[in-house]
Amino acid sequence: MQPKYKRILLKLSGESLSGADKRNIIDSDVLQQYAKEIKSVIDVGVEVAIVIGGGNIFRGASVEKTGIDRVQGDQMGMLATVINGMAIQGSLEKNGMFTRLMSAIKMEQVAEPVIRRRAVRHLEKGRIVIFGAGTGNPYFTTDSAGVLRAIEVNADAILKGTRVDGVYSADPEKDPNATRYEQISYDEAINKNLKIMDLTAFAQAKENNLPIIVFDMNKEGNLLRLVMGEPVGTLVTK
Which residue ranges in the chain fall short of pLDDT 50?
Answer: none
Among 155, 209, 162, 161, which residue's Cα sits nearest to residue 47?
155
- Looking from the CA of 143 toward its CB, the CA atoms found within 13 Å total 19
Instruction: Give the model's pLDDT for residue 225.
Output: 96
pLDDT tens-digit map of 192-229: 888 888 888 988 999 999 999 999 999 999 999 999 99
Please state, in angstroms and rounded to a whole number, the distance separating the CA atoms of residues 53 and 133. 9
Domains of the chain (ranges plus CATH)?
7-237 (3.40.1160.10)
Instruction: Give the model's pLDDT for residue 48.
Output: 98
Instruction: Give the model's pLDDT for residue 18.
Output: 86
Please state, in angstroms and rounded to a whole number, the distance separating the CA atoms of residues 44 and 2. 8
Instruction: Give the model's pLDDT for residue 174.
Output: 82
Instruction: Give the model's pLDDT for residue 61.
Output: 63
Q: Is 130 helix (H, G, I), strand (E, B) or coil?
A: strand
Instruction: Give the model's pLDDT for residue 172.
Output: 78
Q: Is 225 helix (H, G, I), strand (E, B) or coil?
A: helix
The alpha carbon of 148 is separated from its chain's Cα centroid by a whole number of angstroms, namely 11
Instruction: Give the model's pLDDT for residue 199.
Output: 87
User: What does each C-alpha distance from 56 to 25, 78, 104, 156, 223 come to in angstroms?
Assistant: 6, 12, 20, 28, 22
Instruction: Give the model's pLDDT for residue 1.
Output: 81
Specify the amino acid at residue 47: E
Q: What is the pTM of this model?
A: 0.94
